[in-house]
Amino acid sequence: MCPNCGSFDVAPRAVSGRGRVVTFTVNRQAWTPELTQPYVVAIVELEEQADLRLLSNIVGCDPGEVAIDMPVSVTFSQIEDIWIPMFERSARV
């Protein structure tokens, strides 16, 4: 059930993969050997729904260039048989 409108029409739907950075932090701690630091952990709000937010990483740009409200789009990183959604800077304004 949707907490906003009370609808029971809550089936999965495809989304564009576009969003914006709501907040972020730059992690400089090497928690595991395979993590390359620094890396950005961010909360990304998807374009289709203002309160639909994902905790993810921002990849493909310098951590110093990440900013709140920066437009991003999804990309996927494969780890064994799992595809993990991550986000990269989008060219749109």
pLDDT tens-digit profile of 25-55? 999 988 888 878 899 999 999 999 888 899 9
> What is the widest separation between alpha-carbon atoms in the chain?
46
The domain total for the chain is 1
- CATH number, residue 34: 2.40.50
Full domain range(s) for residue 42: 18-89
pTM exceeds 0.95 for this model: no
Q: Where are the alpha helices (DSSP H) in the chain?
A: none
**What pLDDT does 92 receive?**
67
**What pLDDT does 80 receive?**
92
Q: Are 58 and 72 in contact (CB under 8 A)?
A: yes
Label residues 33-58 b or e (16+ Cβ within 10 Å = b).
Answer: eeeeeebbebbbbbbeeeeeeeebbb
d(CA 61, CA 48): 24
- Give domain status of residue 4, yes or no: no
